[in-house]
Homo-oligomer: A and B are copies of this chain.
Amino acid sequence: MASPAGRPRSPRARDVRWRGALAVLEEMRREPGVTRAAVARRLGLSTGSATEITARLRDLRLLAETPVAAAGRGRPTTALTPHPDGPLVIAVDLRQEDWRCAVAPLDGRPEVAAAGTHHSRDPARVAGTVGRAVRDLHRRHGDRVVGVSVAIAATVRHGRVVQSSVLGWDAVDLAALAPDPRLPLLIGNDATLAGLAEARRGVAAGAATVLHITVEVGVGGTLVVDGRPVDGAGGAGGEFGHLPFGDPGLRCPCGARGCWDLEVDGRAIARHLGDPPPADPRSYAERVLARAPADPAARAAVGAAARGLAGGIAGLVNALDPAVVTLGGLAESLRAAAEPEFGRTLAGGLMRFRRADPPAVVAAALGRDGPLHGAVVTALDHVLTEAGLAAWAAHRSPA
């Protein structure tokens, strides 16, 4: 198989080695269980190329082919699936009070393998617990593991946690989560990753420009263009909650004034109801939402928050022109609870020429699994590159 006469090529920047193979793997990922024939058709590959590429990928333990129930006449084709001994990524979702670890093969479907709760505000202890779970999975799967990706309810910049009001953390180094320093460790904001997941695998799959907005404590989200989050120079984009859409008289814990955050979440609802600022704005908001159908004051407060949400979204639509807006967390609950106000305010905030053709505003499909799916997406984005495949091929040469 290796070069019989000359020496093997050294890898080069302009190299073409993995082009076809990558395209095939991306198709498998985009639509788990596609058949080989369908992939070849879609990519415009000749049957000869398809044969060669799949054979190569099988030898490298990157995919397997499973027979598929015959669909009409003709020679039956096979379904492309991740190789049973192929690469895996570990995804972690670290939330306010709990965490989950999952493992996913190249088709990007995570399987939760460990979970737990944490009530500690001590970052080191939490990182220790989660790190043990990750190391455990790494031991179990050996060098099949090619990356670790963490979704966390925190502001992340240059791969480091900068702060988290939800977790009550300041800057924290999560390098301890990597079971092996040679493994890439990716850290991402949970709302950004949830938006990424919606754009790639959720309701907005296929749309080129997707705006994801979620409300938990404050507003988060991301713009996803062509499947990649627009997260800025340091990856700390998507902090939409700190756009000054709100009352300039209100000071935000972030240090600025008039932040949108303060107009939308449980803190806004408490203000409208004349309640003191809630310790946990998220659960406070849920309680008010629950009693809103029967309680006019609660309903009015929810309506005000929904208007605050819709007005900001309208502005972002004006500025960013997304094809779809996806709503996660309390954002969807607020809209559902106060649909009339939400719809009116959204339409009224759009520039006139946009009103004829506004973007669809839809509920996120992945729910609380969004961040976990997003973590898998980013991890696989690293694996499914020329460099990633070359590294895999290097330490696992063909049988």
Q: Which residues of A contact B (CB under 8 A)?
A: 12-14, 16, 19-20, 23, 43-45, 49, 155, 157, 162-163, 207-209, 223, 225, 230-240, 242-245, 254-257, 311-312, 314-316, 318-323, 348-355, 359
- A230 to B208 CA separation, bound complex (whole angstroms): 11
Beta-carbon contact of A255 and B351 below 8 Å:
yes
Q: Is B244 a contact of A315 with CB atoms below 8 Å?
A: yes
Q: Does B318 contact A14, Cβ atoms closer than 8 Å?
A: no
Copies in the complex: 2
Q: Quick one: closest B residue to A255, CB to CB? A: B352
- A348: chain B residues within 8 A (beta carbon): 255-257
A223 lies within 8 A of B233 (CB): no
Contact of A352 among B236, B245, B254 (CB under 8 A): B254
Q: Which listed residue, B49, B208, B239, B352, touches A233 by the CB 8 Å rule? A: B208
Q: A231 → chain B, closest Cβ, in Å?
A: 7
Known interface pairs A232-B320, A242-B318, A353-B162; A43-B155 also in contact (CB < 8 Å): no
Q: Which residue of B lies closest to A233 (CB)?
A: B323
Q: Is the CB of A239 within 8 A of B14?
A: no
CA gap between A240 and B319 in the complex, in Å: 5
Contact call A318/B207, Cβ cutoff below 8 A: no
Q: Which residues of B contact A43 (CB under 8 A)?
A: 13-14
- Shortest distance from the beta carbon of A238 to any chain B beta carbon, whole Å: 7
The answer to whether B237 and A349 have CB atoms under 8 Å apart is no
Partner of A232, one of B233, B234, B322: B322
Verify A233–B207 contact, CB threshold 8 A. Answer: yes
Q: How far does the alpha carbon of A223 sit from the alpha carbon of B209 in the complex, in Å? A: 14
* Residue of B whose beta carbon sits closest to that of A11: B44
Cα distance, A359 to B236, chains bound together (Å): 12
